[in-house]
A = this chain, B = another copy of it.
Amino acid sequence: MTHKVAILGASGYTGAELIRLIAQHRNIEIVALSGERKAGMEMGEVFPHLRHMKLPKLCKIEEIDFSAVDLCFCALPHKTSQQVIAALPADLKIVDLSADFRLRDPAEYEKWYGNSHSALAQQEEAVYGLTEFYRDEIRAARLVAGTGCNAATGQFALRPLISAGVIDLDEIILDLKCAVSGAGRSLKENLLHAELSEGYNAYAIGSTHRHLGEFDQEFSKLAGRPVKVQFTPHLIPANRGILGTVYVKGDPQVIYDTLQAAYADEPFIQLLPFGTAPSTHHVRGSNYCHIGVAADRLPGRAIVFAALDNLTKGSSGQALQNANLMLGEDEEEGLTMAPLFP
């Protein structure tokens, strides 16, 4: 049985990445693609790397007949997403890739995103989309909120450790290195090749990045008490990839064993041998997340590393993984392609 899906916001990177992945899916057909400013254009004009595919033209959202759609991916900017999703049919399955439905507490949403939430009913209904930890809820959900790409990375490194109580909750530092596609296709000076390539820097310093809202929500929920991590993202001259370097206090071997137990049966989470550092090179273009653990020379301290592709496992791959659950498909369908290296 073929499921019919629509992708809203198909002219951005996460939209294009969804199409790339769905092209490998045996049971999903794309029936509608929206792109407001580029409505009327062929996808092959907007993204020439997709020109060999038979795809619907870009259209405006209001032109889509959602009665013929089984599931809708929403890859629109935050704020726009809540308005659009609130207006979609109430029984339409939706996987949202924006930030709008990730935070359960409207006050937290407003604190991190600066605007009050305008779709509170949907916000309440939404399930947090970190597949490996919300599988049952996602399977039953109508609306799934994809996680932030940085938030996913940090959580893959830390959730099992917080749940198991094997690290000091007040001493967690997440130093993150991310590639530029996470910033989307937006025209900003610091995203120009001439400004970005050959150098690197931190941004959103002082733990001010929006994805901290997700960390606070999820880690505090797991721990049963407030947990606040330090988080410093860095912009690296590469297109895809996030590497999280997480400094924790705890027994390194216990930490390793805890992660091993947690991820033993996870198809997309690969724990490297103890003492091995993962690289974003080795997950590029794939839905895999590589995790490594090292003991520091200082006793009782460990470093946990997590590497994934922000556009795939961090966004569109996760979205398809969730859609597979919501549609009753095999969770891995369309997602097992190997990373592209070199």
Contacts and interface: CB of A to CB of B under 8 A. Distances in A.
A55 to B, nearest CB: 10
Interface residues of A, number: 86
B281 A195 contact: yes
Contacts of A230: 247, 296-298, 301, 303
A47 to B, nearest CB: 7
Given A228-B297, A275-B205, A237 B239 contact: no
Contacts of A128: none
A118 interface: no
Given A237-B238, A238-B199, A247-B230, A52 B13 contact: no
Interface string A295-324: 111100101010100000000000000000
Interface string A206-217: 111000100000
**For the complex formed by this chain, how many copies does it contain in all?**
4
Contacts of A198: 197-198, 238-241, 281, 284, 342
A285 interface: yes
A33 interface: no
A255 interface: no
Interface string A175-192: 101001100010111011
A261 interface: no
Nearest to A50: B338
A65 to B, nearest CB: 26
B187 A305 contact: no
A327 B247 CA distance: 45
A192 B189 contact: no
B341 A49 contact: yes
A293 to B, nearest CB: 9
Interface of A: 13, 16, 19-20, 23-24, 47-53, 173, 175, 177, 180-181, 185, 187-189, 191-203, 205-208, 212, 228, 230, 232, 234, 236-241, 243, 245, 247, 267, 270, 272, 275, 277-286, 288, 290, 292, 294-298, 301, 303, 305, 307, 336-342
Given A175-B247, A201-B307, 20 more contacts: A13-B342, A48-B278, A49-B284, A173-B173, A173-B247, A180-B194, A181-B194, A185-B192, A193-B237, A195-B342, A197-B198, A198-B238, A198-B241, A200-B279, A202-B245, A202-B277, A212-B297, A230-B297, A234-B243, A239-B342
